[in-house]
Amino acid sequence: MTPLSKDRILEHSPVSHEAARSFNDSVTGSIQPGNNPGLSYHQNRLCRLDGKQCTSVVRDPVAQASPRWATVVVRSLICAVILVGVGCGQTGPRQYTEEEVQAQRDKLLAANPATPPDTPEQIREKEAKVEETLPQVYAMLEEAKTDPTKVDEVVELSMSLVTLLPEHRAANVAYGKAQLASFFANEATDPYNRAVAINSAAREIDRLRKIFDDLSEDELQLCQEVYFNRARQVGYYPHGEDAPDQFKDAIEKLMSSGFRDAERLKTEPKFEYFFTDPKSAPVLQAAIAQIEESGEE
């Protein structure tokens, strides 16, 4: 598998980022035998994709986030459809009555009962745990600036917080920053984990913007850095079939988050090809023109 195909697999996961609490990155299809460094980290992400419980690295964690009921229902219905379509142990297709289909659904749903939602007290406990652990995340991010070996640990820790409370704003931001740090740490040496990191960061930022419409200046700066580097990641494999669309998506999101540095767009080495490609050149030129016309460069 070439680096290009890996990146494209990461981009086109069959698992929805939203349904998996947004830790998508199709790590499932991309992990290959021999990718041992950081494998436990990817297995933890895989748990998140499947809606399973993950081993939290938060000290003395309270109850983990429950599997999504919608995921259980969908899987149950899929199983029911398969049973209806091919028959249970039959040599050929069999017609089922509506009553039999409903009975199969009821049986499957009964085997996967809904987990009760957290009580207010449980939510408060989780919030307290997140607030208590966030300073540790940021301390580790500072350490990772000089010691890249700390990156995987801080990504796992921040992921544990978002697993605990999927819509905790500060935890979402911390996770996005951790994945951006992972991108920089792996950029020169590890193309696979570089792609995993920036794709994860971009999807988390997409989710942050969807949930909260009053982003602070710091949060907008994070959005811009993530989207700019997502575009740079596409620049590592500019000849890919999906590269123009991926680049356009990253630049459009970059601009919609308030990016106003035309010179940075003009001088970024990873964008050189896109200025000559007829599919992507108009996107870059439009972005630069928008900034220059606004006079906010």
pLDDT-derived band at 102, boundaries 50, 70, 90 = confident
pLDDT of 273 strictly over 70? yes
Same domain, 55 and 139: yes
Q: What pLDDT is stored for residue 264 in this prediction?
A: 97
What is the rounded average pLDDT of the residues 235-264? 96
pLDDT of 291 strictly over 60? yes
Question: Which residue carries 């000849």 as its tokens?
Answer: 239
Q: Is residue 158 part of a domain?
A: yes
Same domain, 187 and 53: yes
pLDDT of 109 strictly over 60? yes
Same domain, 193 and 136: yes
What is the rounded average pLDDT of the residues 1-10? 43
Same domain, 91 and 189: no
Q: Is residue 234 part of a domain?
A: no
Q: What pLDDT is stored for residue 116 in this prediction?
A: 86
Question: Which residue carries 């933890």 as its tokens?
Answer: 44
DSSP string, the chain: --HHHHHHHHHT-SS-TTTTTT--TTHHHH--TT--TTHHHHHHHHHHHHT------SSS--SPPPPPHHHHHHHHHHHHHHHHHH-SS-SS-----HHHHHHHHHHHHHHSPPPPPPPHHHHHHHHHHHHHHHHHHHHHHHHHTT-GGGHHHHHHHHHHHHHHSTT-HHHHHHHHHHHHHHHHHHTTT-HHHHHHHHHHHHHHHHHHHHH-SS--HHHHHHHHHHHHHHHHHHHTSTTSTTHHHHHHHHHHHHHHTT---HHHHHH-GGGTGGGT-TTTHHHHHHHHHHHHHHT--
Cβ proximity of 13 and 26 under 8 Å = yes
Which one is predicted more confidently, 16 or 250? Answer: 250
Same domain, 10 and 30: yes
pLDDT in tens, 203-214: 999 999 999 999
Q: Is residue 291 part of a domain?
A: no
Same domain, 49 and 159: yes
Same domain, 104 and 151: no
Q: What pLDDT is stored for residue 107 in this prediction?
A: 85
pLDDT-derived band at 25, boundaries 50, 70, 90 = very low
Q: Is residue 262 part of a domain?
A: no
Side chain identity, residue 252: E
Q: What pLDDT is stored for residue 87 in this prediction?
A: 52
Same domain, 138 and 206: yes
Cβ proximity of 165 and 65 under 8 Å = yes
Q: How far is CA 213 from the centre of its chain?
A: 19
Residue (of 189, 247, 200) closest to 226 by Cα position: 200
Q: How far apart are CA 4 and CA 184, in angstroms?
A: 19
Q: Is residue 205 part of a domain?
A: yes
pLDDT in tens, 39-64: 444 444 444 444 444 444 444 444 44
pLDDT of 4 strictly over 70? no
CB burial of residue 229 (10 Å; 0-12, 13-18, 19+): buried
pLDDT-derived band at 215, boundaries 50, 70, 90 = very high
Quote the domain boundaries for residue 90: 69-111
What is the rounded average pLDDT of the residues 272-277? 96
Q: What pLDDT is stored for residue 40 in this prediction?
A: 45
Q: Which of 93, 111, 129 represents a domain boundary (last residue)?
A: 111
Picking from 109-113, 175-179, 287-291, 293-297, which range would have the lowest pLDDT averaged per residue? 293-297
Q: What pLDDT is stored for residue 175 in this prediction?
A: 97
Q: Is residue 242 part of a domain?
A: no
The count of structural domains within the chain is 2
Same domain, 44 and 161: yes
pLDDT-derived band at 194, boundaries 50, 70, 90 = very high
Same domain, 123 and 194: yes
Same domain, 87 and 9: no
Q: Is residue 127 part of a domain?
A: yes
Residue (of 185, 138, 180, 183) closest to 157 by Cα position: 138
What's the CA angle centered on 275, arms 273 and 277, to 5 degrees? 70
pLDDT-derived band at 281, boundaries 50, 70, 90 = very high
Q: What is the mean pLDDT of the chain?
A: 79
Q: Is residue 260 part of a domain?
A: no
pLDDT of 123 strictly over 60? yes
Q: How far apart are CA 275 and CA 80, in angstroms?
A: 51
Q: Which of 78, 94, 111 represents a domain boundary (last residue)?
A: 111
Same domain, 94 and 192: no
pLDDT-derived band at 105, boundaries 50, 70, 90 = confident
Q: Which of 161, 190, 212 represents a domain boundary (last residue)?
A: 212
pLDDT of 227 strictly over 80? yes
Picking from 32-36, 175-179, 244-248, which range would have the lowest pLDDT averaged per residue? 32-36
